[in-house]
Amino acid sequence: MHDLIMLLSGLVAGTILFHSAVVAPTVFRTLGEADASIFLRTIFPKFFLFLSFLSAVNLFSAIIDNQPRIVIVAALSTVLMGVAYALIPATNRSRDAGQQQRFKQLHRVSVLLTVLVLCINISVIFI
């Protein structure tokens, strides 16, 4: 079970890194603003739901394997990615309404939540 837990935390971290290092730069480099917006509004809900799902499976695996520290990591990951998912409608509305300051704040929160999830899932290696 320990190997599954490590794999799932690695998948969470790898998904975040791949999205940040490959998907986002490619989108902004190859698509126009309108197309990039459509793509990002489609991919981000799936991104956060996928990370929430992986984290939830990891949570149940850690509970079964009696790994209390990993339970905390996986529970935090699940909740934080759920919060990031819940922020999407407000983020999109602020962008559509031209509320740039609010958009930047909401976007910053979702980025910080994602970075936090990345860091805590990398920390599983050391737990």
Per-residue model confidence as pLDDT tens digits over 75-90: 999 999 999 999 999 9
Confidence (pLDDT) at 86: 98
Q: Which residues of the chain have pLDDT under 70?
A: none
Confidence (pLDDT) at 45: 97
- Host H or E run for residue 19: none
Global pTM? Answer: 0.93
Confidence (pLDDT) at 2: 86
DSSP class of 31:
S
C-alpha pair distances (Å), 106 with each of 64, 119, 121? 35, 20, 23
Give the domain ranges of the chain: 2-126
Cβ atoms of 54 and 112 closer than 8 Å? no
Confidence (pLDDT) at 35: 93
Confidence (pLDDT) at 114: 98
Per-residue model confidence as pLDDT tens digits over 55-77: 999 999 999 999 999 999 999 99
Confidence (pLDDT) at 51: 98
Confidence (pLDDT) at 62: 97
Number of continuous H segments (helices) and E segments (strands) in the chain: 5, 0
Percentage helix, strand, coil, to 5, in the chain? 90, 0, 10
